[in-house]
Amino acid sequence: MPIAAVDYNHVRLTVTDIEKSRAFYDSVFGFDVAFELPPNPDEATKEALAFLFGGVIYKFGGGLLGLRPVADDSFHEDRTGLDHLSFTVGSLQDLHDAAKVLDDLGVAHEGVKDLGDAGMAILEFRDPDNIALEIAGPNN
């Protein structure tokens, strides 16, 4: 009998530079922070939040997204592991609005692509570690 998973809990991305990655994810998505080490933490707090590895975990409608700053190379989707990470928006207009946000931030991206009979459109771009990201929504 298969495992009866009903949703995903979290995804954690390994990044090379937490300051650069955090600035990117904060400006592009503006997710609320679920967990981060506070300034000047005591030893008990450091121990309790050791699972962060100096990173941050965001919360949003789909679950949790973490950034873990321990990578020493750059991402490539043709290696074993993550191919890309896709986020959902509610409308085609939201996709076009997302493209404008990326333009305003100077983030390179593809145009909004209509996937036809699949019933959705996508917007593709990359984070500072070259991790492939996508925004997906309805194509009508």
Q: What percent of the chain clears pLDDT 90, i.e. is strictly above it?
A: 83
Query: In the prediction, which pLDDT does 81 show?
Result: 85
Which residue reads 């954690």 in tokens? 12
Are 129 and 55 in contact by the 8 Å Cβ rule? The answer is no
- Report the chain's C-alpha Rg in angstroms: 17
Structural domain boundaries in the chain: 1-71, 84-140
Class of domain 84-140: alpha beta
pTM of the model as a whole: 0.90
pLDDT for 70 equals: 87
Phi-psi region of 63 (alpha: psi -120 to 50; beta: other; left: phi over 0): left
138: tokens are: 């309805």
The CATH label, of 3.90.1280, 3.30.720, 3.30.70, 1.10.3470, for the domain at 1-71 is 3.30.720
Cβ neighbour number for residue 121 with a 10 Å cutoff: 22
pLDDT band at 62 (very low <50, low <70, confident <90, very high): confident
- Containing H/E element for 48? helix 43-48
pLDDT at 7 over 90: no
Confidence of residue 75 (pLDDT cuts 50, 70, 90): confident
Residue 106 has pLDDT above 90, yes or no: yes
Residue-wise pLDDT for 120-138, tens only, equals: 999 999 999 999 999 999 9
